[in-house]
Structure 1
Amino acid sequence: MTGTTNADGWVRSWGASPQAAHDGLGSLDDHPPLADVTLRQVVRLSGGGRRARVRFTNEFGTAPFTIGAARVGLAASAPGAVRPGSERVLTFSGAPAVTVPAGAPILSDPVDLRLPALAELVISLHLPGRVETCTCHDPALDTGWTVPGDAVAATALPANARVLPVRALLSAVDLLPDTPARTVVAVGDSRTDGAGSTPGTHHSWPELLAGRLAPTGYVVNQGISGNRLLHDGIGAAVAARFDRDVLATPGLGHVVLSIGANDIGVSFAPREEHGPLAGFLGMFPGAPVTADDVIAGYRQLIARTHGRGAKVHATTIAPYEGAEIYTAAGDAARQAVNEWVRTSGAFDGVLDFDAVWRDPDRPSRIRADLHCGDHLHGNDAGYRALADAVDLSLFD
């Protein structure tokens, strides 16, 4: 597998793109403040390894916060439980506690822990003080919990745990594999994030792709629901976050761009000052863009990826007729972008998601059995169809 120089051997096995709490879907709005609580979160790895380190994040924080204690361990069968004997204490430059500066991430020290491919890892951290502004990923399709006080050492989930609706203060897990490996990073919007799939089942298409590539494949999902290529809105634009979320990935080998649907959908959506979409469209600032603008954005990301020695592939944009934002003009722009993706030769590979999802009797719509009911996002079967259609030889 081709990719960037990776002299130390680390590869990313799991990730979630950081966002500001106010810049997502609002899932944390009614949650109590994070103060003197333990966060327990479960992540499903892609490829396996023998050592692990965790990347915590305060990248959208307005003040420092302190991690008083942190542990990792393999998940047991009960929700939030840790398999006895697999627990490892995390340290930071040898210390059990650390203060994470505002605007910064922090890596734990590595721990020796044998982690098989597709393992579920439980990550617990105690926050002795208050987190003023939570950097998170919204929503979390895997359940997490908050527990009062310091419960990082508890192997069973305490009875007073409360569901945490976002991925909080946690952005990546890196592993040291037994043999050299490279990571595939999928970057996109809600269709990459897994919106519409069954929570807790790992049915986003990047996670399903990881299952196909296991045990030696490493796939990281850097989708953000509501995200766009060229303008901020729900999450920073892909063009803005690309260096942090994609190009800085340890062991980067391949990038899959699956972005542009919201750029087009929002730009061509019906616009009435007091219409039903007014509030929704207000979440997406910036001037409308054209198919040519999206293509120019792709060209920039291609150049930046190739500059790092990695390969870059693209998915075509799937249909969306039936969704509230649909217009015929928007669909024409979508098809123009897709034609360029398929025929330009600019990408190292093409994943034709449009062809997989479109209804042969009405190509501007998703097949009824593949969307979750909104004509926009996949269901479990829809995301399985996307993952199963990927030519795995692209990642050799």
Structure 2
Amino acid sequence: MTDKHDAREWVRSWGASPQPPDGGLGSLDGHPPFADVTLRQVLRISGGGHQVRVRFTNEYGTAPLTIGAAEVGLAEPGGGVRPGSARVLTFSGAPRVAVPAGAPILSDPVDLSLPALARLSISLYLPERVETCTCHDPALDTGWTIPGNAVTAPALPDDAAVLPVRALISAVEVLADAPARAVVVLGDSRTDGAGSTPDAARSWPDLLAARLAERGTPARYVSNQGISGNRLLNDGIGPAALARFDRDVLATPGLGHVVLSVGGNDLGVSFAARDGGPLAGFLEMFPGAPVTVDDVIAGFRQLVARSRDRGVRVHATTIAPFEGADIHTPEGESARQAVNAWIRTGGAFDAVLDFDAVWRDPAHPTRIREDYHSGDHLHGNDAGYQALADSVDLSLFD
């Protein structure tokens, strides 16, 4: 049976790339498996619409995932749900579903009028033990676990505990009120928003989404597919960008533009000293042989070709400085400069977002400006991410 709404009208308004619990930053280490518990999670969409569906994920699960009940509504501060906004989520008409191991599942659409930049509350009840939780690590929006089935609770109960990851939710999609397209940003921790204020939507893709929403037309929604610690070529913290590109980017409903903001970790890890020093434990999370500048460029060319095959525009950011961070080496800096030179002049992209130029200290160009980093000389603070978002020419997405 064909839905009365053309599938092309669905546009992804929010995303979080799925990861295995042992392939992230370790926020679930030591956490007991979820069982007979409700997860309540808050997120901010980019663009609005009149219907919504939620993509749940068991893509790294080792057994079927049972969702006993689920609801979506407009979020109130402190974990509450705005009165009158709660909508029961069903799956092929049923309130309960078993999601096969290795698979995602889309909820049925529900009518819910959503303005741009609305904050949603999504609750799901897990009646059975979840041994392996597909997640996104970390979550920059606070979520909670609540004993038992509390899906319909309008306010957060006193026995709620903080949820350390984004769990079992990978996307929110809407039927827009006007023609809209999605801008998908593929990146690492700087895209993910590391160093920004939690619960404030201060990553640069979030801030870009706010600028696009304020502009209005043409409608462009933003899906943040950053993974902290991610690399272009090799797995480690999350699957490599090349490996997850089809799932996280090309399969996006309403896809119109791709922004590639990755490659810095490939270079930093490849040129870091592996001599048993202070980075030894950290570097163990990044398997695979060191890569070269040419390897990284070849990886970018693959993503460009795969984007062009789908008829979407593809842009890239230059790699911002990171001298002063533990991972920095002179060899890695030379490689960063070489990759950036190719990004700027190689002609591979529809446009280049020169984030290196925005963040570098004029007096010390291999470092981030002091007022733009979070204290580690690697990640941005709110002001730094705002500067990146403000530097983007919105007409690129027309």
Task: Output the CA distance in 1 between the equivalents of 2:397 and 2:196.
Answer: 25
CA deviations over 1:41-95 (Å, ceiling 9, x no partner): 001000000000000000000001100000000012x311000000100000000
Is 1:240 equivalent to 2:239 in the alignment? Answer: no
Task: Output the CA distance in 1 between the equivalents of 2:254 and 2:127.
Answer: 34
TM-score when normalising by structure 1:
0.97
Aligned to 1:334: 336
Is 1:271 equivalent to 2:277 in the alignment? Answer: no
Is 1:23 equivalent to 2:23 in the alignment? Answer: yes
Matched position secondary structure for 1:326: coil
How much has 1:180 moved relative to structure 2?
Answer: 1.3
Stretches (4+) displaced over 4 A: none
CA deviations over 1:315-341 (Å, ceiling 9, x no partner): 000001001111111101000000011
Aligned to 2:3: none
Matched position secondary structure for 1:79: helix
Provide the aligned length of Structure 1 versus Structure 2: 389
Task: Output the CA distance in 1 between the equivalents of 2:46 and 2:301.
Answer: 29
Matched position secondary structure for 2:287: coil
Q: What letter corresponds to residue 110 of structure 1 in structure 2?
A: P
Aligned to 1:102: 101
Is 1:262 equivalent to 2:265 in the alignment? Answer: yes
Task: Output the CA distance in 1 between the equivalents of 2:8 and 2:359.
Answer: 40
Task: Output the CA distance in 1 between the equivalents of 2:177 and 2:289.
Answer: 48
Is 1:75 equivalent to 2:43 in the alignment? Answer: no
Aligned to 1:392: 394
CA deviations over 1:263-302 (Å, ceiling 9, x no partner): 0000011221x21111111110001011111110000000
Out of 308, 320, 323, the residue aligned to residue 322 of structure 2 is: 320
How much has 1:7 moved relative to structure 2?
Answer: 4.8
Matched position secondary structure for 2:185: strand
Q: 1:36 to 1:7 in 2, by over 3 A?
A: closer
Conserved? CA contact 2:260–2:316, under 8 Å: yes
Out of 303, 306, 324, the residue aligned to residue 301 of structure 1 is: 303
Q: What letter corresponds to residue 182 of structure 2 in structure 1?
A: T
Task: Output the CA distance in 2 between the equivalents of 1:141 and 1:351.
Answer: 24
What are the equivalent positions in structure 2 for 1:1-396 lying under 5 Å apart? 7-76=7-76, 78-214=77-213, 215=216, 216-272=219-275, 274-396=276-398
Task: Output the CA distance in 2 between the equivalents of 1:350 and 1:45.
Answer: 25
Conserved? CA contact 2:8–2:254, under 8 Å: no
Matched position secondary structure for 2:196: coil
Task: Output the CA distance in 2 between the equivalents of 1:346 and 1:230.
Answer: 18
Gapped runs of 5+ residues in structure 1? 1-5
CA deviations over 1:81-124 (Å, ceiling 9, x no partner): 00000010000000010001000000000000000000000000
Q: What letter corresponds to residue 84 of structure 2 in structure 1?
A: G
How much has 1:8 moved relative to structure 2?
Answer: 3.4
Gapped runs of 5+ residues in structure 2? 1-5
Matched position secondary structure for 1:8: helix
Matched position secondary structure for 1:22: coil
Task: Output the CA distance in 2 between the equivalents of 1:32 and 1:161.
Answer: 15
Matched position secondary structure for 2:340: helix
TM-score when normalising by structure 2:
0.97
Matched position secondary structure for 1:75: strand
| Structure 1 vs Structure 2 CA RMSD | 0.8
Task: Output the CA distance in 2 between the equivalents of 1:331 and 1:211.
Answer: 33
How much has 1:18 moved relative to structure 2?
Answer: 0.1
CA deviations over 1:225-272 (Å, ceiling 9, x no partner): 000000000000000000000000000000000000000000011221
Q: Percent identity?
A: 76
Matched position secondary structure for 2:210: helix
Matched position secondary structure for 2:202: coil
Task: Output the CA distance in 1 between the equivalents of 2:93 and 2:285.
Answer: 43
Q: What letter corresponds to residue 223 of structure 1 in structure 2?
A: G
CA deviations over 1:8-45 (Å, ceiling 9, x no partner): 30000000000000110110113222000000000100
Task: Output the CA distance in 1 between the equivalents of 2:12 and 2:173.
Answer: 4
How much has 1:132 moved relative to structure 2?
Answer: 1.0
Q: What letter corresponds to residue 52 of structure 2 in structure 1?
A: A
